[in-house]
Structure formats: structure tokens, C-alpha cells
């Protein structure tokens, strides 16, 4: 494009999947754009309302040799999850007790539905498998993969405490936009507590074929986890320490690429 700013819908799509324009203004919306918008809106709604496909996920994890457990937040069902975000952050005592025998471990691996079970179906198992391999190669113990239903990010804190894990990775479907309904996010927290603020988490976003590839995301996550465990920091504090070059010690996972 010779350094020029793209102006036509076709030129913009070659640079980004984001819907930045619907074409020329002044007339009726083109039928193609109208139908594409309706399709993307339907995909986003379907992703939010979808449930985890537990049989498919467990079969995939079995093939990958990854043990797994299932946990459900206090939201209980999809309607409760959507209407009461606070319940999606809470792990019932009965669920915590059921997980207690799966620990302790260094890192808890949680795969939750979040706001897009579609993202989990497409990218979840591959991400946790790639990350588990890197962490184990670095000498860390990992939990069984916890398949978390009706899960918000903070549900991982309760799961980590139930497992006796020092660090938790909550990978879950991100809120769908009108350009992507299959984006996985990985939220990583060190020393999670009952009221951990979001500022204490590090996030790797847009894990999918059209965004951050799974191997790259797993490598980033492994580096963050090693830095967290070496420094005792996570979230904003870790980001500042890394930016200042203040951390020393092992931050290389040395795992499979």
C-alpha cells in the first residue's frame, strides 16, 4: 500500500479483522455488509450462550495424556452466570472439597468457559497442553486440568487455593467482538488470595489462529510464571519489574518449542 492509509473496506480487511468501516456513507448499507454483520452478531451470541462440550474436551485431554477434573462455579447454570457475574467468581465449598485431593502443586491449570465456549473448544486443550509441557520441563508440578463451568476469571483463585497451588493459570473464552468469537485469554496470578485484585494478574489475550498463536502464547505464559515464582510478584508489580530489568534468576522455560 506504499505507506498510504487504507481507505476502502477491502484494503482495511487486508490489515485487520476489526470492523472499522461498513463502506461509503449516505446510502443504504450494502447487502453483503449487512449479512456479514448479522452473521458475526449471531456467532458472538452463540459463543456467549454456549456450554463447555465436556465429552469432546475430556476426550481430547485423554489423547494428550492430561488428567482432568470438572468444577462448577456458584452460578450453577448459564442463566445464572450471565445474570450474576459475582457467582461465576465463587467456588462452592463442596466443589473445593472435591478438588482438594488433586493437589498440592506448583501451578494450577484451569480451562473455563468464560464468555466463549467456542474459544475453549478450538484453542483450550492445545494451549494447556503446550503450557503444561513447558512447565514440567522447567521442573514445576502442574495440577490436573480443571474444566471450569460457568467460570469468571476470579474463579481460578478459589480453585488454586483448593489445590494448594502457588500460581494459577485461568484460560477462558474472552468476550466476543463482532470480528472474533473464538478468542482465548489466559489470566495468570501468583499467590492468589480470597480478594485478589485484577491488578495482580497478567493476561495474554487473543489466543487463536488469527491472533496470538498457541505455541507463542504458551511460551509467554511459561516465562511469566517463572518470573512470578522467582520474584514473588504478579500483575502490575511484575510488569514494572520486568520493564525496569529488575528481575534476576530463571525466566526461561527451556521447554518444547
Binding-site residues for adenosylcob(III)alamin sit at 153, 174, 203
DSSP characters over the chain: -TTPPP-SHHHHHTT-SS----S-SSSPPPHHHHHHHHHHHHHHHHHHHPPP-HHHHHHHHHHTT--EEEEE-TT-SHHHHHH-HHHHT---HHHHHHHGGG--EEEEEEEEEET-HHHIIIIIHHHHHHHHHHHHHTT--BPPEEEEES--TTHHHHHHHHHTEEEEEEEEEPPP-SS-S--EEEEEEES--TT--GGGEEEEEEESTTSB-HHHHHHHHHHHHHHHHHHS--THHHHHHHHHT---S--------
Gap between the Cα atoms of 151 and 115, Å rounded: 8
Binding-site residues sit at 153, 174, 203
Amino acid at each position: 500500500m506504499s505507506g498510504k492509509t487504507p481507505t476502502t473496506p477491502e484494503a482495511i480487511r487486508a490489515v485487520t479483522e476489526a470492523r472499522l468501516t461498513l463502506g461509503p456513507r449516505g446510502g443504504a448499507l450494502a447487502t453483503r455488509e449487512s449479512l456479514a454483520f448479522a452473521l458475526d452478531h449471531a456467532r458472538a451470541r452463540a459463543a456467549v450462550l454456549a456450554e463447555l462440550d465436556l465429552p469432546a474436551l475430556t476426550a481430547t485431554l485423554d489423547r494428550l495424556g492430561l488428567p482432568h477434573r470438572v468444577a462448577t462455579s456458584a452460578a450453577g447454570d448459564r442463566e445464572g452466570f450471565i445474570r450474576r457475574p459475582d457467582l461465576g467468581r465463587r467456588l462452592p465449598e463442596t466443589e473445593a472439597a472435591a478438588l482438594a485431593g488433586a493437589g498440592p502443586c506448583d501451578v494450577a491449570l484451569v480451562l473455563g468457559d468464560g464468555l466463549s465456549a467456542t474459544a475453549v473448544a478450538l484453542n483450550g486443550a492445545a494451549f494447556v497442553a503446550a503450557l503444561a509441557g513447558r512447565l514440567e520441563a522447567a521442573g514445576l508440578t502442574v495440577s490436573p486440568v480443571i474444566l471450569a463451568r460457568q467460570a469468571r476469571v476470579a474463579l481460578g483463585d478459589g480453585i488454586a487455593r483448593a489445590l494448594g497451588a502457588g500460581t494459577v493459570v485461568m484460560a477462558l473464552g474472552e468476550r466476543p467482538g463482532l470480528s472474533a468469537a473464538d478468542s482465548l485469554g489466559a489470566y495468570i496470578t501468583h499467590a492468589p488470595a480470597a480478594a485478589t485484585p485484577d491488578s495482580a494478574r497478567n493476561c495474554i489475550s487473543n489466543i487463536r489462529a488469527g491472533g496470538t498463536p498457541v505455541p507463542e502464547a504458551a511460551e509467554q505464559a511459561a516465562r511469566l510464571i517463572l518470573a512470578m515464582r522467582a520474584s514473588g510478584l504478579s500483575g502490575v508489580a511484575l510488569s514494572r519489574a520486568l520493564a525496569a530489568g529488575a528481575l534476576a534468576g530463571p525466566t526461561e522455560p527451556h521447554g518444547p518449542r
